[in-house]
Amino acid sequence: MSTPAEKIVREIRLNPIVPSESVLVATARSLRPKKAEEPAPRDTRAHVDTCPFCTGNEHMTPPVIAAYPGEKNWEIRIVENLYPVLGDDRQNPNLTFGLQQTIDGYGRHEVMIDHNKHGIAVHEMNEVHLALLFGAYRDRMEQLYKSNKRLRYVLVFKNFGPAAGASIAHTHSQLIATPVIPDNVQAEVMNSRAFYHKNHRCIFCSLIDEALTFEATIYDRESGEIHRKINVGQYVIERGKKFIAIKPFASRYEWEVHILPLQHQGDFLRISKDDLADLAGVMRRTMARLDAVLGGAQYNYFLHSLPHDVECTDCEASYHWHLEITPRTSIPTGFELGSGLFVNTVAPEAAAEKLRAVQLD
Ligand SMILES: [Zn+2]
Ligand SMILES: [Zn+2]
Ligand SMILES: [Zn+2]
């Protein structure tokens, strides 16, 4: 008899926070429409003489904005992006015609060199360093918000490995500050606010509670067969004192994992020093599990936090910041681009079980 996790799943799962971001979970092999080609291996060298982000080549980067712990002995270094997608130098006012509306490309685009070792992966960094890294994200986000009132969102993200679109092999993150709130963040903020007004609860807190305590068996009305069994902790990948890593029930990507603070917190900028240490541990262990299961994970991750905008001033109780990690194991097809409906070929329950089964040292 097959366990529920091995059963063929073919269903459209609704994202509880943003229903329009739903996913077709289709585990039948014949439905597998896409398999990314074997990704180019990532660069694991510690130092590369010609790399502008390696130590000794500091003169090759644009001017430094900040360095941790200091400029001479840096472990993390923030610099301007050499090819920014947004800039603060635009002189010309917008010209709009009919429906051809534009808003100017005002914003900031910065690069954070995450480590002085060229090809180090997140799970290979020690937890003291990871706490420093997430503290650097927080500091720089705060400074950017303060630097200009027009900036309403600072997106922190990381592309790791060629399969995830990283153009420079040296491990780095990026910060993009924009005068508009990204659509997917806006949808999360607005939908969670509506949920809060109706239920007087944060929907993310409710999801964490469900992941931790929910237990149910759903039977078929006619045959009495078990439709779905939900076990305690079925979606939990890792947990610390203050953070939890969850495999979302409606994951759009096969190995997608979200990390959230266990206690409600709307704005990542409020994270404390203790929190950073715990987050570092949960992050390192989660990434180690992903790397072990995938045999070298190439991924994107990004932070979703409360936008700094007048529209969101009442959303601190209803929004809950989180980190979304999306390893790249397949490429979107025409079906996905055309329908907006993502296909996930690994049942999230089975993925969670595999990730939990990894023995960490
Ligand atoms: Zn390098
Ligand atoms: Zn919450
Ligand atoms: Zn999100």
Give residue 186 CA to ligand 3 midpoint distance, Å. 10
Question: What's the pLDDT at 35?
Answer: 54
Judged against a pLDDT cut of 90, whether residue 46 lies above it is answered with yes
Contact between 171 and 114 (Cβ < 8 Å): yes
pLDDT tens digit sequence for 103-136: 666 788 999 999 999 999 999 999 999 999 999 9
Question: What's the pLDDT at 292?
Answer: 93
Judged against a pLDDT cut of 90, whether residue 191 lies above it is answered with yes
Through-space distance between the first and last CA atoms of the chain, rounded to whole angstroms: 33
Give residue 325 CA to ligand 1 midpoint distance, Å. 23
Which ligand sits closest to the CA of 315? Answer: 2
Length of the chain: 361
What number is the average pLDDT over the span 329-337? 81
Which ligand sits closest to the CA of 55? Answer: 1
Contact between 346 and 28 (Cβ < 8 Å): no
Give residue 7 CA to ligand 3 midpoint distance, Å. 28
Residue carrying structure tokens 């690994």: 346
Which ligand sits closest to the CA of 318? Answer: 2
Residue carrying structure tokens 């944060």: 202
Return phi, psi of residue 251, to 5°: -70, 135
> What residue type is 256 in one-letter code?
E
Percent of the chain with pLDDT over 90: 60
Question: What's the pLDDT at 226?
Answer: 84
* pLDDT interval class at 211 (50, 70, 90): confident
Contact between 82 and 60 (Cβ < 8 Å): no
Judged against a pLDDT cut of 50, whether residue 2 lies above it is answered with no
Whole-model pTM: value is 0.90
Give residue 132 CA to ligand 3 midpoint distance, Å. 23
Give residue 52 CA to ligand 2 midpoint distance, Å. 41
User: Could you give the CA distance from residue 114 to residue 182 in angstroms, rounded to a whole number?
Assistant: 24
Q: Does an H or E element contain 23, and which?
A: strand 23-26
Give residue 277 CA to ligand 1 midpoint distance, Å. 26
Q: Is residue 206 helix, strand or coil?
A: helix
Give residue 198 CA to ligand 2 midpoint distance, Å. 15
Question: What's the pLDDT at 1?
Answer: 40
Give residue 173 CA to ligand 1 midpoint distance, Å. 13
* pLDDT interval class at 91 (50, 70, 90): low
Spatial CA neighbour of 248 closest among 300, 298, 210: 210
